Amino acid sequence: MKEIRVGQIGTGFMGRTHSNAYLQVPRFFQTGYKPVLKCVCSLDKTLEEYAANWGYESTETDWRKVVERDDIDLIDIVVPNNLHHDIVVAAAEAGKMVICEKPLAMNMQQAEAMVAAVEKAGVANMVSFNYRRVPAVTLAKQLIDENRIGRPFHYNSVYNQDYTISANVPQGGAALWRLDSKVAGSGVTGDLLAHAIDLAEWLNGPIARVTAKTEIFVKERLHVETGKMEPVTIDDACAFIAVFQNGSFGTFHSTRYARGRKNHNTFELNGENGAVYFDLEVPHSLQFFRYRDPETGEKTPDHIVGWQSIHVTNSEHPYMGHYWVPGTTIGYEHTFINSFADFLNSLNGGPKFQPDMRSAMRVQLVCDKVLESARTEKWVEL
Ligand code: SOE
C-alpha cells in the first residue's frame, strides 16, 4: 500500500470528521493507499491534545510551513471559509493534493482562482460535499440514472437547523465564525444550501435561473472578538425558487431558526414514472414511489402502488458491502470515509473523483446568484 502523507490545517468539528475518515478508510476499503497523519496545524490551544488524540506525528502553528514540507503529499483544509483560497492556491503551487471543506470559497472570484491553481498544477483535488456519499442518497442517484423517475417535474429541498434562535448566541470566534460574514462569506446559503445545491445539480442536473429571498431575524449580536454588539450581516434564512435546465421546477429552503430541527436535510424529486424522498434524520432509508417500471414499461398495479421505504443496508447497496452485515447501519462519519475511499480509488485508476473544485465552483456560482437575486429582488440567470 502506498502512503499518502496528510497535513491537516484546522482542528474543529470538520477536522475530526476528516481525521477519523483517514484512519478508517484503509480498514474498510482496498484502494491501494493508506493515509498517514503526518502533521496538524492550528492556533487553537488544544492543538497538542488534538494531535495526540488522532495520532498526528507532528504539529505546526503556521499553515505555510505545512504546505512547504517535503514529507506531506496532501493538504486537508478544515478551517473557516475565508482561509480556503490562500491555502488552496499555495498548496497547489507546492504540488500538493488538496481536500477542502465546503463551501469552496467566499465568492466566485476566489473560486475561479482556486480552480485555476489546482488545474494548472494538475493536482488531485476534492471538496467535501459528503452527503453525496450517504448510501441512501447514492442509491437515489442510481435510481435516477436507471430512469426509474422518468421526466422530472419537481425537486424540493429543505435544510433546516435551529441553533441561532436565541438572540443571546454571539457571533464570531472559533465556535461561531459561521455567523460572521467576514469569515463565512454568507450564512445558510453557503453553509447549508451549498450542500442542497450540490445534491440537486448532481441528482437533477444544472439550475438555469433562480429567484431568492433572504432574512436576518436577529439584527445585532455580540461579537466574540470585539466584545461589542455588531450588526448581523449573514443570511439567517434563505428560500429560493429554481428552474432547472431540464425544465423541472425547484424550491429550496434553509434556516437556522427552525425550532426542533438540528440537521434536517431533505430532498424529494417527483418525476413522471416515480419519485424519491430522502431525510437525513432517517439516514438509512430511501423512500421510493414506483409508478412505472422502466424495464417493462408497465405501470405498477393500482392496488399496490405506493411509497416504499428501502432500508439501504444490503451489501448490494452503495458502500454497504464494505461495512457490516445486511440490516446493520452506518453513520454520519461514514459519509466522509466513503468520500475518501472514492478519492483514493480515483488516484489508483478508479473513476475521476467528484465533486472536485471545478464542480464546487459551480455550487459557488449558484450560491452567489441566489444571494444576488435576494439583493436585487429579481430573477437571475446562471
Ligand atoms: C453547520 O451547522 C454544519 O456544521 C455545516 O457546516 C456542515 O457542512 C453540515 O453538514 C452540518 O452542519
The per-residue pLDDT for range 170-190, each reduced to its tens digit, is 999 999 999 999 999 999 999
368 lines ligand 1 (CB under 6 A): no
Nearest residue CA, atom 11 of ligand 1? 263
The neighbour count for residue 289, using CB atoms within 10 Å, is 19
Q: Which of 128, 191, 363 to mutate to test the pocket of ligand 1 (most atoms within 8 A of CB)?
A: 191
pLDDT digits (tens, 9 = 90+) for 217-269: 999 999 999 999 999 999 999 999 999 999 999 999 999 999 999 999 999 99
Q: Which of 192, 199, 235, 238 to mutate to test the pocket of ligand 1 (most atoms within 8 A of CB)?
A: 192
CB 99 within 8 A of CB 233: no
What local confidence, expressed as pLDDT, does residue 209 receive? 98
Q: How far is residue 18's CA from residue 28's CA, in Å, rounded to a whole number?
A: 15
Looking from the CA of residue 194, the nearest atom of ligand 1 is 8
Q: Per-residue b/e over 294-310, b at no fewer than 16 CB within 10 Å?
A: eeeeeeeeeeeeeeeeb
Overall size of the chain counted in residues: 382
263 lines ligand 1 (CB under 6 A): yes
> For the residues of 227-258, what is the DSSP string, one character each?
-SEEE--S-SEEEEEEEETTS-EEEEEEES--
Distance 291 CA to ligand 1 centre (A): 35
Nearest residue CA, atom 1 of ligand 1? 191
Cα dihedral sign, 98-104-110-112: positive
53 lines ligand 1 (CB under 6 A): no
21, 67, 141 from 323: Cα distances, Å: 14, 34, 20
Q: How far is residue 202's CA from residue 165's CA, in Å, rounded to a whole number?
A: 31
Nearest residue CA, atom 5 of ligand 1? 191
CB 266 within 8 A of CB 158: yes
191 lines ligand 1 (CB under 6 A): yes
- Is the peptide bond between 355 and the residue preceding it cis, with omega within 30 degrees of 0? yes
User: What stretch of H or E contains 303?
Assistant: none
In the chain the beta strands, taken as DSSP E runs, fall at: 2-9, 33-41, 58-60, 74-77, 97-101, 125-128, 152-160, 207-215, 220-222, 229-231, 237-244, 249-255, 264-271, 274-279, 285-290, 307-311, 380-381
On the CB side of 205, CA atoms within 13 Å amount to 14
What local confidence, expressed as pLDDT, does residue 254 receive? 98
CB 155 within 8 A of CB 250: yes
Distance 116 CA to ligand 1 centre (A): 27
What local confidence, expressed as pLDDT, does residue 305 receive? 95
What local confidence, expressed as pLDDT, does residue 258 receive? 98
Cell of 260: 426542533
Q: How far is residue 27's CA from residue 14's CA, in Å, rounded to a whole number?
A: 21
> One digit per residue, pLDDT tens: the chain, 382 residues?
999 999 999 999 999 999 999 999 999 999 999 999 999 999 999 999 999 999 999 999 999 999 999 999 999 999 999 999 999 999 999 999 999 999 999 999 999 999 999 999 999 999 999 999 999 999 999 999 999 999 999 999 999 999 999 999 999 999 999 999 999 999 999 999 999 999 999 999 999 999 999 999 999 999 999 999 999 999 999 999 999 999 999 999 999 999 999 999 999 999 999 999 999 999 999 999 999 999 999 999 999 999 999 999 999 999 999 999 999 999 999 999 999 999 999 999 999 999 999 999 999 999 999 999 999 999 999 9
What local confidence, expressed as pLDDT, does residue 74 receive? 98
Closest to 40 measured CA to CA, from 20, 53, 26, 57: 57
